[in-house]
Amino acid sequence: MTSVLYNDRQSTYPVFFVIFIIECLFCIGFSVYAYIQGDFEVIIVSLIALVVLGIIFVSFLWMQVFVYDDRLTVRYGFFNKTIFFKDIRKITVEPYDFWKYGGWGIRWNWTDHSTAWVTRSGVGIQMYMDRKACFISVREPEKVFTIVRGRLAQ
C-alpha cells in the first residue's frame, strides 16, 4: 500500500459562493413567479435546475491534491487525474498564467494543449510529460516540487 506524502485541499474563491446564491435566488424567484401564474411545469423545471446547480456547486467547491510514492492525483468535482512520476520529464514551480488558460477550474490551452487544474491564482507546479504539460495549483508548491523531484531521482 502506498503512503500519502502530501495532501492538499483547496477551496474556490468566495465570489463563486455569492454567484451560486444569486443563481439559487433566481431559480426560487422564478419558481414563485411561475406558481403565481399557475405554470406548474415551469416550477418543476426551476426546481430541477436548482438541484442540478446545487450538485455541481458542491462538487466543485474543493480540489484535492495527493502525492503518493509513485504518483500525483488531483480530484476536482467529478473529475480525477493521475500522473505517474515515471511519465514526468520535467517539473517546475511557476505562477499561474491566467491569460494562458482563461480562468479557474479545469482548463485547457488551445495553443500548446496543456491543462491546468486551478482553484485559485498563485504559484503552483508545472509538470511536463512526453507530449503534454499540466499545471496544478497547490498551497505549498515548493514542498510538492521537492517531494516529486526526489521521487524522480530514484
**Structure confidence by residue, pLDDT tens digits, 15-69:** 878 888 888 888 888 888 888 888 888 888 888 888 888 888 887 888 999 999 9
27 lies in the same domain as 76: no
Is 70 exceeded by the pLDDT of residue 103?
yes
Q: Work out the angle between the directed axes of helices 40-59 and 14-37 (0-180°, nearest 10).
A: 170
Distance in angstroms (rounded) separating the CA atoms of residues 111 and 8 = 29
Name the pTM for this structure. Answer: 0.79
Highest mean pLDDT, choosing among 18-32, 68-82, 96-110: 68-82
147 lies in the same domain as 101: yes
For 132, phi then psi, to 5°, come to -150, 165
Amino acid residing at 58: V
Is 80 exceeded by the pLDDT of residue 13?
no
Query: What are 33's three cell numbers?
Result: 413567479
- Is residue 125 a part of any domain in this protein? yes
pLDDT confidence bin for 12, thresholds 50/70/90: confident
User: Which pLDDT score, from 0 to 100, does residue 73 have?
Assistant: 96
Average pLDDT for residues 111-123, to the nearest whole number? 88
Tell me the DSSP string of 17-73.
HHHHHHHHHHHHHHHHHHHHHT-HHHHHHHHHHHHHHHHHHHHTSEEEEEE-SSEEE
User: Which pLDDT score, from 0 to 100, does residue 15 have?
Assistant: 81
Is 80 exceeded by the pLDDT of residue 2?
no
- Is residue 77 a part of any domain in this protein? yes
- Is residue 95 a part of any domain in this protein? yes
pLDDT confidence bin for 1, thresholds 50/70/90: low
Residue 44 is part of which domain span?
12-59
pLDDT confidence bin for 84, thresholds 50/70/90: very high
87 lies in the same domain as 143: yes
Q: How many domains does the chain have?
A: 2
Is 90 exceeded by the pLDDT of residue 120?
no
Alpha-carbon dihedral angle through residues 81, 86, 89, 91, given to the nearest 10 degrees: 60
Q: Which residue has the cell 480530484?
A: 75
149 lies in the same domain as 74: yes
User: Which pLDDT score, from 0 to 100, does residue 136 have?
Assistant: 95
